[in-house]
């Protein structure tokens, strides 16, 4: 069983939710709703992990946290 962390944002142009999983090539998807995104994300992560060799699976990054940085321009 693998637990991965996805980065999710909403595209202002398309109004679609977009998700990527850092460290897993090809693990990205989009959807109109968060429920649909969750379903799509699970499916694509399963497919990507099935294609990964065991050595690369052992090198998946560990989620530590998210940090916002405020800058003045």
Element (H, E) at 72: none
Domain with residue 59: its CATH number is 3.30.160
Q: What is the pLDDT of residue 58?
A: 85
User: Are the C-beta atoms of residues 20 and 6 closer than 8 Å to each other?
Assistant: yes
For 27, half-sphere exposure in the C-beta direction (CA atoms, 13 angstrom radius) is: 25
pLDDT of res. 73: 93
| Residues recorded for the chain | 73
Number of domains making up the chain: 1
Give CA–CA dist 14/67, Å, rounded: 26
| pLDDT average, residue stretch 5-10 | 95
| Residue 59 domain boundaries | 1-73
13-56: pLDDT as tens digits: 999 999 999 989 999 999 999 999 999 999 999 999 999 998 98
């Amino acid at each position: 069983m693998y637990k991965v962390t996805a980065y999710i944002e909403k595209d202002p142009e398309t109004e679609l939710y977009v998700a990527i999983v850092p460290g897993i090539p090809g693990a990205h998807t989009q959807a109109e709703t968060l429920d649909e995104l969750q379903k799509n994300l699970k499916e694509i992560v399963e497919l990507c992990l099935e294609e990964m060799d065991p050595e690369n699976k052992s090198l998946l990054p560990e989620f530590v946290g998210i940090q916002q940085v405020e800058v003045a321009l």
